[in-house]
Amino acid sequence: MSMLCEGRVALVTGGSRGLGRAICLALAREGAIVAFNYLKADADADATVALIEAAGGRASAHKVSVLDKPGLAELVRSLDRGHGKIDILVNNAGYGQVVPLALMEESDWDEMLDTHVKGAFLTTQAVLRIMVRERFGRVINVSSLAGIKMMQAPVHYATAKAALKGFTESLAKEVGRYGITVNCVAPGILDEGVSDHLPPARREEYLRHCALRRVGRLDEAADMIAFLASDRASYTNGATLVVDGAV
């Protein structure tokens, strides 16, 4: 059987570690040429590239913020020059912060919304021009269970992740005519990443409600994203797929 993303070119935001790294590995394993951006962690970015190349894949790391519009434009231009297209965009860049609304600084709110939502807007806007030209594209936005269900979660984080669901649905309607699908994945608690900031009591409460009685693995969420990036999900558009073990 052929690989799910064979011959495709993918850009993943925030790909140096955690779920971003798992997404890069999954796409590369399915045959995609993978580029990812990152902000600070040089060693982690190098490790992600090394893991992909050790498995026989192709990858490149690019140190540029998702809020750096000129930097993103140059990254997209360089990928287009090098590969002639960008088929897949995964808007994954983000972070977690546990702070109650009463103690939240305005800068906390701004940074959370900017990173998750404005970053997805700027990156998607830069890549869409190429996808429209090619009449093909797969955009996958990484939301969270906290943005889909009513649950105890930091308000600015839940708001940002809920915004990505709306972004997905509206954009899917706008660009579907060009052969571009836009979907969203909303993971529950995973074994690494944002969940590292959760208090133990919150994790235990999640496990009590989860039908599978365990947290998810990074690769389980990443494999769903690789599927949505493939031709096997060609008629899935504007959807939000919850990957939470049934909470």
223-242 burial, b at 16+ Cβ within 10 Å, e below that, comes to: bbbbbbbbeebeeebbebbb
Distance, in Å, from the CA atom of 221 to the CA atom of 216, rounded to the nearest integer, reads 8
Long-range pairs, 225-228, Cβ under 8 A, ≥24: 225/23, 225/26, 225/27, 225/90, 225/140, 225/142, 225/185, 226/4, 226/5, 226/23, 226/26, 226/27, 226/29, 226/30, 227/4, 228/138, 228/140, 228/181, 228/183, 228/185
Active-site choice (157, 178, 206, 235): 157
Q: Is 95 a catalytic residue?
A: no
Give the active site residues. Answer: 157
